[in-house]
Chains A and B, each alone.
Chain A
Amino acid sequence: MLSTRNVNKKFGSLVVADGISLSIPRGVRYALIGPNGAGKTTLINLITGMLAPDSGEILLGDEAITALKPHQRVKRGLVRTFQINTLFPHLTALESVTLAVLERDGHAHNWWRGLSSFASEADEAAVILKSLNLEKHSHKETRELAYGQQRLLEIALALATRPRVLLLDEPGAGVPKSESAELFAAVEGLSSELTVLFIEHDMDVVFRFASRILVMVGGRILVEGSPQEIARDERVREVYLGAAHAA
């Protein structure tokens, strides 16, 4: 569904993506793990077009999307969320999600009809908010939402675009463990057609929700495998789990 071919990226002399080739089949839940600075977020930025690779190719299905702008990739179903809340502070939750629905359906260019004549889009936004237990807060401005609710709104905005591939950059970042389970339960409940790649540091969460795991170190993919394989892999223990276990 989503693949990259030999993607490279340097910031000056710092290599942040070193020949990354991966291939993610449809409907699989992938976890992307690795120590800080491994290049995980950079990889998401490269895949979604927020950064341009120095070389290499990115494909969605069979289509090369390397030259497309971020919003064009979203239109094709490749959607991300952000590690640090990247929301619309003064829009209500409902307005934000409705905006994403309107953009998806190509209505956002319409300046001659009132928003009230787009009730079905607003209804759809309300359904998405409800599916993430945000319906009670849908009329609050985003900045007034609790942090955990803002994390959920991050996902709601992505879902409103009807993604085929969803890239979640540490959806549980800064959320207490009890709430992050709820958050990942919401992710797990998504359509099985949807391909999900998520970055996460909490190994309990990773092993619980991922069906495949990618391990990145120093801008390279170290290994890819099932959770069992990764748990047994000596190299992974050394560079990543080893350090965590020792702590």
Chain B
Amino acid sequence: MANAKPLEVAFWLCTLLPFVLAPNYLSLASQIAITALFALSLDLILGYAGIVSLGHAAFFGVGAYTAGLIAKHYWTEPISALLISGLISGILGYASSHVIVRFRHLALIMLTMGFGLLLAEAANSAHALTGGADGLQGFRVPEVLGFKFDMFGRTAYAYSLAVLFVCFLICRRVIHSPFGLALRGIRENAIRMPAIGAPSLSHLRKAYTIAAVMAGLAGAALTQTTSTVSIDVLSFGRSADVLVILILGGAGRLYGGLIGAVIYMVARDQFSGVNPQYWYFWIGLLLVAVVMFLPNGILGGLSALHKKRQ
């Protein structure tokens, strides 16, 4: 990692702590890493390109089902299946981007939501292919690169974390590239961009496609580490959750989705342990508090505090 800051190195070293400190929670840690990757992919379009999506689960779900179908009907080697899942998701992302990028604001929210719902219903009806509401079951990915997926989730977490880390490096590169600057330009002022000769729509299509690939990878990793695909990989709730996670952590900051995923998932795990029925109450309270006191998310608040002290 060229020119990594000490805080970043510390952050990634911390991601290894669960192996030592919380060996009983590695399955949770794996799901957190996958959710973090999903949030990271949303950050690319929401935080950097300004595309608000309420249907991002579409790509997560397509990746999840693709990986499930490959494992069930074809082969169980996970890395090739992961890449193919990302590819299929990316193709869908590229195809839908031609419509998506022409809209902004409310129309965009409705459009992405509608697109997500359509896909969820399609998966629900295509029982023969997807297992419908029962989910896709009856497959297992036994190992990756010779490491067996164990019942403690050790390999699962290592695998998810590795996928997250590689995708993060790619995202980080994208953000700090000329293309990343162009995306920020579109977010900052969509009217000015064409006036400096920028093909904004083509930039947005590209960002949307990259985000779809990464969401697909996240979905595939979930399938491979849990050996099941539930219909809710495509659900509206998942699209909404990931948006909440990103806003909680701070959009447009690369680490926002990661921090948000950790806090949200751990909070959900703890709250649902205390009160399985009403845990959304506490999530709601957390969200209201963050938005009221830290309008730019947790990371936004921290960085403002840091600036003040300087």
Which stretch from A97-105, A194-202, A207-215 is at the chain B interface? Answer: A97-105
Bound CA–CA A69/B202 (angstroms) = 13
Of residues 193 to 228 in B, which have CB atoms within 8 Å of A's CB atoms? Answer: 193-200, 202-203, 206, 210
Bound CA–CA A84/B231 (angstroms) = 50
A86 touches B179 (CB 8 A): no
Within the complex, the shortest CB–CB distance from A43 to chain B, in Å, comes to 16
A residues less than 8 Å from B194 (CB atoms): 50, 69-71, 74
Bound CA–CA A193/B221 (angstroms) = 58
Which stretch from B25-33, B56-64, B182-190, B271-279 is at the chain A interface? Answer: B182-190
Which stretch from B101-109, B170-178, B256-264 is at the chain A interface? Answer: B170-178
A residues less than 8 Å from B202 (CB atoms): 109
Which stretch from A12-20, A113-121, A178-186, A233-241 is at the chain B interface? Answer: A113-121
A95 touches B197 (CB 8 A): no
B196 touches A70 (CB 8 A): no
B197 touches A110 (CB 8 A): no
B180, CB-defined interface residue at 8 Å: yes
A residues less than 8 Å from B200 (CB atoms): 71
Within the complex, the shortest CB–CB distance from B190 to chain A, in Å, comes to 10
When each residue 80-111 of chain A gets 1 if its CB lies under 8 Å from chain B and 0 otherwise, what string results? 10100011111100011011101110011111
Q: Given contacts A103-B196, A103-B198, are A111 and B180 in contact (CB under 8 A)?
A: yes
B198 touches A71 (CB 8 A): yes
Within the complex, the shortest CB–CB distance from B252 to chain A, in Å, comes to 9
A157 touches B173 (CB 8 A): no
B residues less than 8 Å from A11 (CB atoms): none
B192 touches A108 (CB 8 A): no
A87 touches B189 (CB 8 A): yes
Bound CA–CA A182/B184 (angstroms) = 31
Bound CA–CA A208/B219 (angstroms) = 65
A110 touches B179 (CB 8 A): yes
Dominant secondary structure of chain B at its interface with chain A: helix
Q: Given contacts A74-B194, A75-B197, A109-B206, are A114 and B181 in contact (CB under 8 A)?
A: no
A114 touches B177 (CB 8 A): yes
Bound CA–CA A70/B180 (angstroms) = 22
A70 touches B195 (CB 8 A): yes
B residues less than 8 Å from A71 (CB atoms): 193-195, 197-200
Q: Tell which of B178, B182, B191 touches A86, judged by Cβ atoms closer than 8 Å.
A: B191
A108 touches B189 (CB 8 A): no
Within the complex, the shortest CB–CB distance from B77 to chain A, in Å, comes to 27
B176 touches A115 (CB 8 A): yes
Q: Given contacts A88-B185, A88-B188, are A74 and B195 in contact (CB under 8 A)?
A: yes
Q: Given contacts A109-B206, A115-B177, are A161 and B197 in contact (CB under 8 A)?
A: yes
A98 touches B196 (CB 8 A): no
Q: Given contacts A71-B198, A108-B198, are A102 and B192 in contact (CB under 8 A)?
A: no
Q: How many residues of A contact B (CB 8 A)?
A: 38
A79, CB-defined interface residue at 8 Å: yes
Within the complex, the shortest CB–CB distance from A65 to chain B, in Å, comes to 14
Bound CA–CA A109/B162 (angstroms) = 27
Within the complex, the shortest CB–CB distance from B14 to chain A, in Å, comes to 25
A108 touches B181 (CB 8 A): yes
A48, CB-defined interface residue at 8 Å: yes
Bound CA–CA A95/B184 (angstroms) = 10
A89 touches B196 (CB 8 A): no
B178 touches A107 (CB 8 A): yes
* CB nearest neighbor in A for B202: A109
B residues less than 8 Å from A112 (CB atoms): 173, 177
Bound CA–CA A89/B187 (angstroms) = 10
A152, CB-defined interface residue at 8 Å: no
A99 touches B196 (CB 8 A): yes
A60, CB-defined interface residue at 8 Å: no
Bound CA–CA A133/B200 (angstroms) = 30
Bound CA–CA A114/B174 (angstroms) = 8
B177 touches A113 (CB 8 A): yes
A160, CB-defined interface residue at 8 Å: yes
A residues less than 8 Å from B203 (CB atoms): 108-109
B residues less than 8 Å from A102 (CB atoms): 178, 181-182
Given contacts A79-B197, A110-B178, 18 further A-B contacts (CB under 8 A): A50-B194, A69-B194, A79-B196, A82-B195, A88-B188, A99-B178, A99-B185, A103-B182, A107-B178, A108-B181, A108-B198, A109-B178, A109-B182, A109-B203, A111-B173, A112-B177, A115-B180, A161-B196
Chain B interface residues (CB < 8 Å from chain A) = 2, 173-174, 176-182, 184-185, 188-189, 191-200, 202-203, 206, 210
Q: List 14 A-B contacts (CB under 8 A).
A: A69-B194, A71-B195, A71-B197, A74-B194, A79-B196, A80-B195, A91-B188, A99-B198, A102-B178, A103-B196, A104-B197, A108-B178, A112-B173, A157-B196
